[in-house]
Each structure stands twice: as structure tokens, then as C-alpha cells.
């Protein structure tokens, strides 16, 4: 897994769009589209700040970044749709199903068994919608 190379003349928006496509794939595009009629500027912010600024930073690879995100969203326990997007994103950037499952299970220690359970059921749902191709762990 390599970090995104940063192109000199690229804007934050362009950089973010490239990262969003690579990391979240179709799921990310759907979120952006769903914002079009309610808060299009917010779609721009999501592309620019999390994806253009944060995920493009050197110093931590995308696998590690998705581990951090899956851990946090499982622990917070109030953002199931985003957790599912990032479980799929984790597979996109090279995490195995086993690794993702381990991250979620570990959250029982820090956020309790219900948070981990709900995270595991979110993962189960994501896995069941995917074909068993190169993302299988």
C-alpha cells in the first residue's frame, strides 16, 4: 500500500477527489451525490478536508488510517452508515477481513461489548454484499 503521491499543481479538491475514489470507491461517491440537494458545500468540505488534507498526508499509510477510522467509528457507536463505508474502504486499501474483524473485536475492551457487537454485525452486512474476489480476507 503506497501513499498518494501529491501532484504539484493539484488543488485540495482534486487531491481529495482522487483520494476519495481510491479509498471509498462507489460508496463515497454515493454519499457525495446524496448531499447535492441539501448541502452541496458540505460535500466539497468532505472531499477537501478529510480526503484532500488528512488522508493525503505522509507519515501514516492508508492501511493504518483505515484501522484508526474503523476503530473510532466502532467505538463511538453512533455512525453505522459511515462505519460500513469505512469497512469497505479498509478492504479497498488492502486490509483483510480478518484484520478488520480483529480491530472491531478489540473495541470491546475500550468501548464495551455492545459497541463491538454492533461493529461486527455491520462488518457482516458489508461482507455479505461483496463478491468474494480480491477483497476476501
Kindly state the smallest distance separating residue 54's Cβ from its own copies, in Å: 5
Q: What CA–CA distances, in Å, run from 26 to 7, 93, 103?
A: 23, 14, 23
Buried b (16+ CB within 10 A) or exposed e, 55-67: bbeeeeebeebbb
Binding residue for its own copies (CB under 8 A) from 15, 28, 74, 92?
A: 74
Cβ at position 104, least distance to its own copies in Å: 8
Among 6, 11, 45, 130, binds its own copies (CB under 8 A): 45
Backbone angles phi and psi of 100, in degrees to 5: -60, -45
23 contributes a contact to its own copies by CB under 8 A: no
In Å, how far are 18, 40, 51, 121 from 91, measured between CA atoms? Answer: 17, 28, 17, 16
**How far apart, in Å, are the Cα atoms of 49 and each of 14, 43, 83, 85?**
12, 10, 18, 17
Q: Does 102 bind its own copies (CB under 8 A)?
A: yes
Q: Work out which of 5, 59, 129, 132 binds its own copies, going by CB under 8 A.
A: 59
The answer to the question of residue 70 lying near its own copies (CB under 8 A) is yes
Residue 91 vs 111, nearer CB to its own copies: 111
**Minimum distance between the CB of residue 60 and its own copies, rounded to whole angstroms?**
4
- Closest approach of its own copies to the CB of residue 28, in Å: 12
Amino acid at each position: 500500500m503506497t501513499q498518494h503521491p501529491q501532484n504539484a499543481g493539484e488543488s485540495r479538491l482534486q487531491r481529495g477527489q482522487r483520494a476519495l475514489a481510491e479509498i471509498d470507491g462507489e460508496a463515497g461517491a454515493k454519499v457525495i451525490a446524496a448531499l447535492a440537494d441539501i448541502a452541496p458545500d458540505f460535500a466539497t468540505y468532505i472531499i477537501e478536508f478529510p480526503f484532500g488534507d488528512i488522508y493525503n498526508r505522509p507519515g501514516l499509510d492508508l492501511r493504518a488510517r483505515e484501522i484508526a477510522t474503523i476503530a473510532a467509528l466502532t467505538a463511538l457507536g453512533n455512525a453505522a452508515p459511515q462505519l460500513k463505508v469505512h469497512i469497505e474502504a479498509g478492504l479497498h486499501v488492502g486490509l483483510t477481513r480478518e484484520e478488520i474483524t480483529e480491530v472491531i473485536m478489540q473495541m470491546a475492551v475500550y468501548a464495551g461489548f455492545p459497541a463491538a457487537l454492533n461493529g461486527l454485525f455491520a462488518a457482516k452486512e458489508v461482507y455479505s454484499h461483496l463478491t468474494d474476489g480480491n477483497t476476501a480476507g
